[in-house]
Amino acid sequence: MFLKGLYSIGIYLASFVVKIAALFNSKLKQGVIGRKNTFSKLQYIIKSKDKTFWFHCASLGEYEQGLPVFEALKAKHPNYKVVLSFFSPSGYEVRKNTKIADVVVYLPLDTTANAKRFLDLVNPDYILFVKYEIWPNFLHEIKKRDLKAILISAAFRKDQAFFKWYGSYAKSALFGFKHIFTQNENSKSLLEGINYNSVSVSGDTRFDRVSNQLKIDNTVTFIEDFKDDKLCVVFGSSWPDDDKLYMDFINSNENLDVKFVIAPHNIKPSYVASLKSQLNVKTICYSELTEHQNLADYKVFILDTIGYLSKAYSYADIAYVGGGAGTTGLHNILEPAVFGIPILIGKNYEKFPEAKTLIDLGGVTSLGSSSAFNASLNALITDDVLRKRQGDITKSYIHSNIGAVVKIMDYLES
């Protein structure tokens, strides 16, 4: 009881601090304003007679991870209403109009009163949380009501509070889930070590998610026109530290018969202008497209828009995935891997098991300097056999890890 009170006090204090900080931070302000509207939106959309599913994700990455399961469950039960909640503005703002849900809201702060009110309004038949989302007050209320809640694609580490002597309140929250599907055996063993035994290894639903990309039409006419049947390198979700790795290669190889697509993580006009100014080869941005341009004349295409990166990877012969050159966090390497191409990344990848595995297998190469980048990319461009061998490794890795959605749906439908 003491730990619960301490946790709740911490939530209230955090709420106060966030509201003050929101006066100076637009992203925090979005969350504060959005949470004020959660209950009114639920009251308007969800009626007491409705049968409902509640899907919850921290942010956009978790949403993409859970989406194959959300879609499968929705397809099985089309008459159910879906409530989708996010904790982070970066998830909510991008997916607030997603067709998978009838209403998209911010998760209220984790207080007992909020949990009771939220569950009273939603009254979910099934609850799916994704990966890391463990909110004790919500989960204790879920357990009290004996609701069907599961956690999918969970990944645990032994240094987390659930597995420490001081983490009893956080640990007890896990028992609010009827079942937990983990990404790996290590996470399963950690849970069994605290006597949580309703656990299965399903793998990572992200493999199913990216595999679905192969089932859709990935045609992007302007990228096709730009590529012009040349070898193409796509730099996905790049940050300034990533730019430093590859910029010299592009500028030093003006006569190389290769095209480059850069999809920066930051697409603000000032950043894109700065990026373009560093290139001394013929470059065009998506925002500059007009009807009668000959895109084949350009060496670099800057994709300063959202929504095209996954399809852009289908045109790549080689991909560089950003985030690993600095400390922002490596972006999703599975998106290009599904197309069976070799992948280059920066030096910081230790927190990303799929990157570690693919490096060991030989499908991904980690680089810590511009010179190392130049050597690796040049080898892949000039050696067709090497490029195919590494691409086959990434493709095989994806194929061998699909199936998590089937395992989870088998449980849900049993």
- Encode the chain (414 residues) as per-residue pLDDT tens digits: 556 667 777 776 767 676 776 677 777 778 777 788 999 999 999 999 999 999 999 998 899 999 999 999 999 999 999 999 999 888 898 899 999 999 999 999 999 999 999 999 999 999 999 998 899 999 999 999 999 999 999 999 999 989 998 888 889 999 999 999 999 999 999 999 999 999 999 999 999 999 999 999 999 999 999 999 999 999 999 999 999 999 999 999 988 999 999 999 999 999 999 999 999 999 999 999 998 899 999 999 999 998 899 999 999 999 999 999 999 999 999 999 999 999 999 999 998 989 999 999 999 999 999 999 999 999 999 999 999 999 999 999 999 999 999 999 999 987
Within 10 A of 27 (CB to CB), how many other CB atoms are there?
12
> Could you report the per-residue pLDDT of 159-197, keeping only the tens digit for each?
998 999 888 888 999 999 999 999 999 999 999 999 999
Q: Where are the domains of the chain?
A: 37-203, 218-400
Distances (CA, A) of 325 to 64, 100, 309, 346, 382: 23, 34, 19, 4, 24
The size of the chain, in residues, is 414
Residues whose CB falls within 8 Å of the CB of residue 101, separated by 6 or more in sequence, listed in order? 55, 82, 83, 84
Residue 141 among the catalytic residues:
no
Are 286 and 272 in contact by the 8 Å Cβ rule? The answer is: no
Closest CA to 104 of 114, 90, 92, 115: 92
Closest CA to 184 of 208, 211, 209, 156: 156
**Phi and psi of 320, rounded to 5°?**
-115, 125
**Distance separating alpha carbons of residues 300 and 277, to the nearest angstrom:** 12
**Phi and psi of 201, rounded to 5°?**
-90, 115
**Distance separating alpha carbons of residues 69 and 408, to the nearest angstrom:** 8
Are 362 and 393 in contact by the 8 Å Cβ rule? The answer is: yes
- Of the candidate CATH numbers 3.90.740.10, 3.40.50.620, 3.90.930.12, 3.40.50.2000, the domain formed by 218-400 belongs to 3.40.50.2000
Grouping H, G, I as helix, E, B as strand and the rest as coil, residue 414 is: coil
- Given the residues 62, 64, 133, 141, select the one marked as catalytic: 62
Q: Identical fold at 37-203 and 218-400?
A: yes
**Phi and psi of 308, rounded to 5°?**
-115, -10
Are 317 and 285 in contact by the 8 Å Cβ rule? The answer is: no
Query: Which token pair is 374?
Result: 């130049």
Query: Which token pair is 341?
Result: 């191409």
Global pTM value: 0.83
> Could you report the per-residue pLDDT of 378-392, keeping only the tens digit for each?
999 999 999 999 999
Q: Which helix (H) or strand (E) holds 226?
A: helix 221-227
CATH placement of domain 37-203: 3.40.50.11720
Closest CA to 112 of 141, 134, 142: 141
Query: Which token pair is 356?
Result: 């570690």
